[in-house]
Structure 1
Amino acid sequence: MTETLYPVDYPGEAMTTTMPAVTAPVRPRGVRRVLYESGYALSAFPIALVGFLVVVIDLALGMALAVFIGGVLLISVGVMVARGFARFERIRLQGMLGRPAATPSYLCPRPGDGFWRRSLTPLRDAQSWLDVVWALVGLLTGTLAFAIALAWWAGAAGGLTYWFWQRWIPESDGDHGLAYYLGLGDGRTAESWLNLALGALLLLTLPWAVRLVVTIHASLAWVLLSSRADLQSEVARVEGGREAARIAEAESLRRLERDIHDGPQQRLVRLTMDLGRAKRQVADDPTRAAATLDDALAQARETVAELRSLSRGIAPPLLVDRGLAAALEEMLAQSSVPVRSRIDVPAQLPPHVETAVYFVVAEAMTNVAKHSQASSAEVTVVSHGAEVEVRVEDDGIGGAHPAKGLGLAGLRQRLAAVDGTLEVTSLEGAGTAVVARIPG
């Protein structure tokens, strides 16, 4: 029996094919960053110590009692406790350091599973055991972060204020301070200047010292607690793109079949009937036969033109023969709406990118002609580094939205198949802007 991945926060709902969008946290700057990082480092040790003790004691008791039923349940409870500390650490990473720390999807029981299956499911989840590892090894880096941060803050504060509180330090004959042994002189004044210099040095180096130990602790936390989330997101994205490609292909085939049935097929049937009638009229009424043949010839020309239009929607020959720019220019030249265009793309692009760009422009211009009531349109296709941006704007009535159909939903699916994105801005009465970005 297979298990289902569920989001950790909602164990009763199946995980969708696309991971939820994660809002990037805001990283503090300047003095706030130093204070937040110091707070993170100073709190790392007590939190890690509590997590270490609770998880280790729970797992140790569970293993000692493993021969009994309660022992296995204790191990499962220990794993769930480690999950809780892992979640708290992700919150600290985002809230105190401004680092992205996505929560991976945990293996959860399906609705309807029995008590034992639900209780033992955490033991079969890889991320749960990574959380346990974090509860154990996080104490090491947490202790290091705590010790360095405390030493630097204490040294800086003590050195800078030594001149004030040294008066309460008992002084006896024969006692010498660090300044005396460094050859800087003897007495409270020399000692105050030395401590002031050391305090200033520690204060100046404090941001880098704290940032070093925080980076070590936080990097280990991210690797163990959040790195699998990126992998799961990538897998979901690939699966979503593959599914979108299948849906887009199926939609294209259905549309082509419908267009052929409604257009060329009907014309060919009529052409066959006209030719048959002309054949019967040749002997008895050559004049009417000639008129019928003229009609048949017109039907044949219209059929050829419609088939050419349909083939242009499948794989335009000009796109293969002369490239994307030429194919777009020819398509825009046949537009029923006046178009201003700017096409600036490399001569050689991957075939799937060229096809996607072409279909974006074709679908957008079809919508402009059929639905926008626009008097003009503007098409911009430019290459920005590793991606191609397509922008189609019109001055029509607006109101377009992928949920309304108009081909935009299918276009979004087609772009998802090539890792592209689609943005539609269309206010009522303010025209429509369709922007697609396709990795090149």
Structure 2
Amino acid sequence: MVAMNPLRRVFVDTAYSLSAFLLAIPAFAFVVAGIAAGLGSMVVAGLGLAILVGTAYAARGFAHVERVRLVGMLGVEAPQPTYLRGRADDGGVRRFLAPLRDTQSWLDILWAVVGLATACFAAALAVAAWAAVLGGLTYWFWQRYIPFDDADNVTLAEILGLGHGRTPESLLYLGLGVVALVALPFVLRLGAAVHAGTARVLLCSRAELLDRMEVIEESRASAHRAEAQSLRRLERDIHDGPQQRLIRLGMDLGRARHQLADDPATAAATIDSAVAQTREAVEELRALSRGIAPPLLVDRRLAAAVEEMAAGQAFPVGVAVDVPRELPVAAETAAYFVVAEALTNVAKHSQATRAQVAVHQQDGVLVVTVDDDGRGGASLAPGRGLAGLRERLAGVEGHLEVASPEGGPTRLLATVPLS
């Protein structure tokens, strides 16, 4: 909900509650009459269904007005649902009856009925609260116009033991008016919240759920795409690196075996070359394994893994990691690969002289920033390494932003939800 000045909030809640009642009356009357007429006319072929379809469209209109009121008056998010529509290959009758097959249409109809009760509650609270405030604070003025018999009148002030006469009664009602004035914002907020909360549950929750499902499905698709890209890159790296070295190692060892009898010195040199090839292949395999599941990340968690990665760069990298030791594995792994990919890009493309990595937790989100003083120009264009990183983050519902003007500096900001 949008923050609002307290005084303005009072008048907005009042207007929302009173207008809710004015909207609920025609909505209730039209929908209830439409449902009754539609069900009662079911014996006439097509007429009852046509009335019910028209009622569904009318309820949809009242629901749309309420969503607009939620956003415009209360500043509440009210996503518009996507209503069911007949497909091109559906018959005419099926397309015509699409509103009656749509769950949201029936929720709109239910809202038109239930909304009258919550609107009456909100409007009654608003009227009663304002009456108590205005009546109590001004009673001292208009009390003089009320006939008062000192001998026969028994006032509320007298019953409470505050004294007999107009003055104690005026002071009592003035005090009650002050109390009502203090309670006014909370009472109005209660009435508006009950009505708005019911509206959001019936008119918006299904749309929010469907939107959430779409986000989850897109996250899963992004995760699958990122995984497929990682596997293809790993296959290419293994083919271009360790596999070629192992092939050459086999050829060197075969050549050395033939050289042993005739030229031991050359055989020894060939074996030395094969040993060097073995070491290089092992180093490349270690580097590739770090890209799959860094052992240090598994054993000592994120802070140690990032510090070791920074220490292994050819340029100075400052590190500031302030996170709990125990983090969700998916979020921790995503943050690690953000830093790894960012530093790789800095080393290959930015011509930077230094970089700074910061990782911290904020409001249930893991925030990763990588800054460098390079030449800039980094982008999230398709086919770039950062585009693949964005896909990986989308798989855990994370988000990636890059600010990299030409000439630098560059800032990469990634957020990863922890829940």
Aligned counterpart, 1:88: 65
Shift of 1:254: 0.5
Q: 1:155 to 1:382 in 2, by over 3 A?
A: closer
Cα distance in 1 for partners of 2:17, 2:363 equals 40
Aligned counterpart, 2:87: 110
- More off after superposition, 299-308 vs 363-372: 299-308
Aligned counterpart, 1:50: 26
Q: 1:428 to 1:177 in 2, by over 3 A?
A: farther
Deviation string, structure 1 residues 287-314 (Cα, Å, up to 9, x no partner): 4433333333332222222122111111
Cα distance in 2 for partners of 1:433, 1:318 equals 26
Q: Secondary structure at the match of 2:314?
A: coil
Q: Secondary structure at the match of 1:424?
A: strand
Q: 1:137 to 1:266 in 2, by over 3 A?
A: same
Cα distance in 2 for partners of 1:425, 1:292 equals 51
Identity %: 54
Aligned counterpart, 2:103: 126
- Residue 262 of structure 1 is aligned with which of 240, 262, 268? 240
Cα distance in 2 for partners of 1:181, 1:377 equals 76
Cα distance in 2 for partners of 1:153, 1:347 equals 54
- Residue 225 of structure 1 is aligned with which of 193, 196, 203? 203
Shift of 1:193: 6.5
Q: Is the 8 A contact 1:177 1:191 kept in 2?
A: no
Give the residue type in structure 1 aligned to 2:11.
L
Aligned counterpart, 1:11: none
Paired residues in the alignment total: 414
Q: Secondary structure at the match of 2:401?
A: strand
Q: 1:177 to 1:326 in 2, by over 3 A?
A: same
Give the residue type in structure 2 aligned to 1:49.
I
Shift of 1:124: 1.9
Q: 1:283 to 1:48 in 2, by over 3 A?
A: same
> Which runs of 5 or more structure 1 residues have no equivalent in the other structure?
1-24
Aligned counterpart, 2:281: 303
- Residue 247 of structure 1 is aligned with which of 220, 225, 236? 225
Deviation string, structure 1 residues 372-425 (Cα, Å, up to 9, x no partner): 111111112334474433221111112212225432222222222233332322
Shift of 1:345: 3.5
Q: Secondary structure at the match of 2:97?
A: helix
- More off after superposition, 379-388 vs 73-82: 379-388
Shift of 1:336: 2.0
Q: Is the 8 A contact 2:157 2:168 kept in 1?
A: no
- More off after superposition, 416-425 vs 284-293: 284-293
Whether 1:77 and 2:54 are equivalent positions in the alignment is yes
> Which runs of 5 or more structure 2 residues have no equivalent in the other structure?
none
Q: Secondary structure at the match of 2:249?
A: helix
Cα distance in 2 for partners of 1:185, 1:340 equals 80
Shift of 1:43: 0.9
Shift of 1:34: 0.4
Deviation string, structure 1 residues 64-122 (Cα, Å, up to 9, x no partner): 22232132122112112112211211221222222233333433333454432222122
Deviation string, structure 1 residues 199-228 (Cα, Å, up to 9, x no partner): 555444332332222222222222222222
Q: Is the 8 A contact 1:179 1:190 kept in 2?
A: no
Q: Secondary structure at the match of 1:437?
A: strand
Aligned counterpart, 1:392: 370
Aligned counterpart, 1:433: 411
Shift of 1:358: 2.0
Q: Is the 8 A contact 1:37 1:214 kept in 2?
A: yes
Cα distance in 1 for partners of 2:23, 2:90 equals 34
Q: Is the 8 A contact 1:372 1:431 kept in 2?
A: no
Aligned counterpart, 2:347: 369
- Using the size of structure 2 for normalisation, the TM-score is 0.87
Aligned counterpart, 2:9: 33
Q: Is the 8 A contact 1:161 1:196 kept in 2?
A: yes
Q: 1:290 to 1:181 in 2, by over 3 A?
A: closer
- Residue 147 of structure 1 is aligned with which of 124, 128, 133? 124
